[in-house]
A and B are shown apart, each in its own frame.
Chain A
Amino acid sequence: MGPLIPQEIIGADWNLFIAFVIGIGFGFVLEQAGFSSSRKLAGMFYGYDTVVLKVFFTGAITAMLGLLFFSLFGWIDLNLIYVNPTFLGSAIVGGIIMGAGFIVGGFCPGTSFSAAAIGKIDGMVFIGGLFIGVFFFAEGYPLIEDFYMSGSMGPIKVSEVLGISGGVVTLLIIIAALIMFKLGELAEKRWPRAEY
């Protein structure tokens, strides 16, 4: 049956509208969970607040379990799901830059818009920085193009690299997530912030 749009059960014209509705919902949940405070993301780095880790890993394992069970019931064809191609070198460097940006700025792109939407000036400044970064990346693209395209592995999955089934990968990630949640809570006790 699914995915609904590639199978043309829902017309492709609905793509943007559905993205808009999901985007509004995502922004609302981010704000409602307190992610529009830059302290929340920075807290992940300093150890006094690990809600970000819990939220995103819970989202990931829920989606993984959901997709695999849907596939098991024949509700979705996983072959039709778009898998982002992996560029290993640039992904590692990009991850480090983005992670450093999280600590310094206290936002990720999504939460900065949440923050700006409720009128936070730091969120708006972050968005300004985001556009400056986009501009310099685009203008400087010829200089880094070779590196940007390096380590191309195609749309590959962890389960394919390791040669084990997707179900086992999911189980391992669930266990890893639960261990991280526990460690996160220990960190919150270990490095509490009085003013937070």
Chain B
Amino acid sequence: MNLRNIIFIALVLLGVVIAMVPENTTKPYKLTAEQMLIEVQGAAEMVIADDVAHWLISKDPSLQLIDVRTPDEYQKFHLEGSLNIPLSTILSSENRDYVDQGLKMNVLYSNGTIGSHQAWMILRQLGFENNYVLQGGLNYWFDTIMNPQAPSVTSADEEFAKYDFRKAASGVFGGGNAVTITAPTANEAEKPRVIRKTKKKAPAGGC
């Protein structure tokens, strides 16, 4: 067999190999600075506390709360059903399946919004979808959902509806002064199994 035929066969074999293997979907930072600026200005990553409370009460299965604070803070208090993925471990491979997935709506929260936004920025730049930030963080959550202030008598009807909802929600979450301290281990949320959406990505080819 001459050299040319060997090269031909090698090319076909390499082609068969590349046709069989799944395409590489690992990606380094994907969004450019300009794209990030547009996303940040649009503020579409924010979800308001009332919506989150509503989803929690209705036990919306697509909601996944992610606590990006330290494990100590998480054990002192965390929202029901939330996962603890501290900011320092946001890139670790074991958390990858939770932050890069196509099924659930991840809502990141920290005490304020700095930690959650830092995490969100990193995840977004990696091109991950479905990650959101709890507007105002836990501080705002306590001010509005847990200890709602009654609107003044001249307020619009919506304000009263909102207040009623918050008051009811506060009862569900054990609000008012009765903030439950969750037990360190007993109540820790099990990490749910997440099926990653396989994203189709076509590579460049051709002359």
A residues bordering B, Cβ < 8 Å?
Answer: 7, 56-57, 59-61, 64-65, 67-69, 71-74, 77-79, 81, 83, 157-160, 165-171, 173-175, 178
Contacts and interface: CB of A to CB of B under 8 A. Distances in A.
A159 B30 contact: no
A157 B11 contact: no
A158 B23 contact: no
Given A61-B11, A167-B23, A157 B205 contact: yes
A167 B12 contact: no
A178 B8 contact: yes
Contacts of A71: 23-24, 203
A176 to B, nearest CB: 11
- Sort A-B residue pairs by CB-CB distance and give the 7 closest, nearest first: A171-B15, A166-B203, A171-B19, A60-B207, A174-B15, A159-B202, A167-B19
18 contacts: A57-B207, A65-B15, A67-B203, A68-B18, A68-B205, A69-B14, A71-B203, A77-B28, A79-B27, A79-B201, A81-B204, A83-B204, A169-B206, A170-B205, A171-B15, A171-B18, A174-B14, A178-B11
B54 to A, nearest CB: 37
Q: Is the interface of B mostly helix, strand, loop or mixed?
A: loop
Contacts of B23: 68, 71-72, 165-167
B16 interface: yes
A77 B206 CA distance: 17
A72 B26 CA distance: 9
Contact of B30 (A67, A79, A165, A169): A79
Given A171-B16, A174-B11, A175-B12, A74 B24 contact: yes
B20 interface: yes
Given A158-B206, A178-B12, 12 more contacts: A60-B206, A67-B204, A67-B205, A74-B24, A78-B201, A78-B204, A157-B205, A166-B205, A167-B19, A167-B21, A171-B15, A171-B16
Interface of B: 8, 11-12, 14-16, 18-21, 23-24, 26-28, 30, 201-207
A78 B202 CA distance: 9
Given A79-B30, A171-B18, A72 B24 contact: yes
Contacts of B14: 65, 69, 174
Contacts of A178: 8, 11-12
A158 B18 contact: no
A195 B19 CA distance: 44
Nearest to A72: B24
Given A64-B206, A165-B202, A72 B11 contact: no
Contacts of B15: 61, 65, 167, 170-171, 174-175
B203 A78 contact: yes
A159 B28 CA distance: 22
B19 A160 contact: no
A71 B202 CA distance: 11
